[in-house]
């Protein structure tokens, strides 16, 4: 059995791994680390949750230590590009853990935070920078950062960055980094359309692939509900409230929807059903996203609704279930979604809700991933529950009948109508004008009548 000590890593890195309790490398780590230590460009393909971050970060930390160069002013020695804020934050956290004894500075910059704070913290440069492409280019355009000091360039989840429209940003960045850099590509999938990009970025890269592309994790049991689109919310409430049993015990449940508004709608309706949940998507501010993730990690709010922005950015070992409330229209995205469970050697459960208009998506997922779904039955009397004639979704307290008040005193007497202070008037009230009720002013009605008969002057 291969150990980390067999891969040629330095003692400070091995001590950091020992402090985290890591002894045996994953297959992608065992194959990639020696090649990266040699200085080779690398294309790594492995299913999500197999330790790709350590596969490029551990040997890169050693190479930076061996080079023994000073931190460049307003630049970095290692640049890691990530598609989402959450993934960038987690990579930076891992880099700090792995390099705790190496004496390297690590920073991360992402969109949605203060540009001025990013500018200040990078003024003196850093050894390792983890960034989203948009925020990095913002600082470059402001002349607050340069890329002429980059020795190692890493693109994590490269295919996702292309899907999110970062192709032009990546081309700009590739023109700004030195030509003699080391380039590392890592992803769970590698579509054909980015092979050309790999050829432009890398020089004779070695390819490391430990599993076939687009295969799903072997430790994930996959289940399927066939349900109408307008019935999904009711089914979700019954499942999460455990009124309809599904396999596995709920610890943390990650639910994927296709749109931002869809996430917010699900959270709102779950809240109305007494089931607390948080949402994370592109319209949320960075503090909101961080707070939702923190509550999810601590299981304070163990239900998180997310768009695909979180499919590559959530690395939490305690995710027991992934529910695809809506199936993705890109089959590779399904791989990344369900890969949020069964992490760190644990088993996981994935449940898909499939409506009639999503059958083609399901067919593409099955064809691309060879996934085998076990069909689950809908709850008993489910149609009646949806239509509101069966058992209610929530246990409601019975309404108490209002007590009848027995009349006392003159029981049959009619109550006098209350006098209206300002009765509605229709037309002139009776008695208006001559003979009417005095107005209370001296000569008030008399003067009014006299003025009424006076001829008007022409204008």
Report pLDDT digits (tens) over 285-313: 888 988 999 999 999 999 999 998 766 66
Residue of 172, 174, 170, 198 whose CA lies nearest to 184: 198
* Other CB atoms within 10 A of residue 312 CB: 27
pLDDT for position 347 = 87
Say yes or no to pLDDT of 39 above 80: yes
CA-nearest of 141, 139, 53, 40 to 99 is 53
Q: What is the pLDDT of residue 424?
A: 52
Structural class in CATH, domain 4-209 = alpha beta
* C-alpha to C-alpha distance for 134 and 154, rounded to whole angstroms: 16
Lowest mean pLDDT among 137-141, 153-157, 187-191, 298-302: 187-191
Residue 217 is predicted with a pLDDT of 66
In this model, does residue 158 exceed pLDDT 90? Answer: no
Range name among 18-32, 36-50, 289-303, 429-443 with the lowest pLDDT average: 429-443
Among the residue ranges 174-188, 240-254, 444-458, the one predicted with the least confidence is 444-458
Q: With bands split at pLDDT 50, 70 and 90, how would you rate the model's confidence at 376? A: very high
Collapsed DSSP state (helix, strand, coil) of residue 272: helix
Range 313-341 average pLDDT:
87
Decide: 323 and 254 in contact? Cβ < 8 Å. Answer: yes
Domain coordinates in residue numbering, the chain = 4-209, 220-387
Q: Is the confidence at residue 20, as pLDDT, over 80?
A: yes
- Determine the pLDDT at residue 393: 44
Identify the CATH number of the domain defined by range 220-387: 3.40.50.300
Q: What percent of the chain has pLDDT over 70?
A: 81
Average pLDDT, the chain: 84
Question: Which residues are 354's β-sheet partners?
Answer: 226
pLDDT of residue 116: 93
Give start and end residues of each alpha helix (H) in 99-180: 115-121, 133-141, 158-163, 167-176
What element of type H or E holds 219?
none
29 neighbors 58 (Cβ within 8 angstroms): yes
Q: What is the pLDDT of residue 400?
A: 40
Give the mean model confidence (pLDDT) for residues 40-66: 90
Cα separation of 383 and 377, whole Å? Answer: 13
Helix, strand, coil: what percent of the chain each, to 5? 40, 15, 45
Domains 4-209 and 220-387 share a fold: yes
Please determine, for residue 280, whether its predicted confidence score (pLDDT) is greater than 50: yes
The answer to whether the Cα torsion of 81, 85, 87, 91 is positive or negative is positive
Polymer length of the chain: 459
d(CA 199, CA 242): 51
β-sheet bridge partners, residue 348: 220
Q: Which of 20-29, 124-133, 319-328 has the lowest mean pLDDT?
A: 20-29
**Top-confidence residue, 181 or 421:** 181
pLDDT in tens, 161-206: 877 788 889 989 999 999 999 999 987 777 776 677 788 888 899 9
């Amino acid at each position: 059995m291969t150990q980390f000590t067999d891969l040629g890593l330095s003692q400070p890195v091995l001590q950091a791994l020992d402090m985290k309790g890591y002894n045996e490398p994953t297959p992608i780590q065992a194959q990639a680390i020696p090649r990266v230590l040699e200085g080779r460009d690398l294309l790594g393909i492995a299913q999500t949750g197999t330790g790709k971050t350590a596969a490029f970060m551990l040997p890169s930390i050693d190479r930076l230590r061996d080079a023994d160069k000073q931190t460049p002013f307003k630049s970095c020695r290692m640049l890691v590009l990530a598609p989402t804020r959450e993934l960038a934050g987690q990579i930076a956290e891992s880099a700090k853990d792995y390099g705790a004894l190496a004496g390297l500075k690590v920073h991360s910059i992402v969109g949605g935070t203060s540009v001025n704070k990013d500018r200040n913290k990078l003024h003196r440069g850093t050894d390792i920078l983890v960034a989203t492409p948009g925020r990095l280019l913002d600082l470059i355009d402001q002349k607050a950062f340069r890329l002429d000091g980059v020795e190692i360039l890493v693109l994590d989840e490269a295919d996702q960055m292309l899907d999110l429209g970062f192709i032009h940003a990546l081309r700009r960045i590739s023109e700004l980094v030195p030509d003699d850099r080391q380039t590392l590509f890592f992803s769970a999938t590698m579509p054909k359309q980015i092979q050309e990009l790999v050829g432009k970025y890398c020089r004779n890269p070695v390819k490391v692939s430990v599993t076939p592309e687009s295969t799903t994790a072997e430790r994930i049991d996959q289940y399927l509900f066939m349900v109408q689109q307008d019935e999904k919310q009711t089914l979700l409430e019954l499942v999460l409230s455990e009124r309809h049993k599904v396999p596995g015990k709920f610890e943390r449940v990650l639910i994927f929807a296709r749109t931002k508004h869809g996430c917010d709608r699900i959270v709102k309706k779950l809240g109305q059903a007494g089931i607390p949940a948080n949402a994370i998507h592109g319209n949320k501010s960075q503090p909101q996203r961080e707070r939702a993730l923190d509550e999810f990690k601590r299981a304070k709010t163990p239900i998180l609704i997310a768009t695909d922005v979180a499919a590559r950015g959530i690395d939490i070992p305690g995710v027991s279930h992934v529910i695809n409330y809506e199936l993705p229209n890109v089959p590779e995205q399904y791989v990344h979604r369900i890969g949020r469970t069964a992490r760190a050697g644990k088993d996981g459960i994935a449940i898909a809700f499939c409506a009639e208009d999503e059958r083609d998506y399901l067919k593409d997922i099955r064809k691309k991933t060879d996934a085998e779904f076990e069909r689950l039955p809908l709850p008993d009397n489910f149609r009646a529950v949806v239509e509101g004639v069966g058992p209610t979704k929530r246990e409601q307290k019975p309404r108490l009948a209002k007590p009848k008040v027995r009349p006392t005193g003159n029981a049959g007497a009619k109550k006098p109508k209350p006098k209206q202070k300002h009765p509605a008037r229709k037309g002139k009230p009776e008695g208006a004008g001559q003979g009417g009720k005095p107005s209370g002013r001296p000569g008030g009605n008399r003067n009014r009548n006299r003025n009424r008969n006076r001829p008007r002057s022409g204008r």
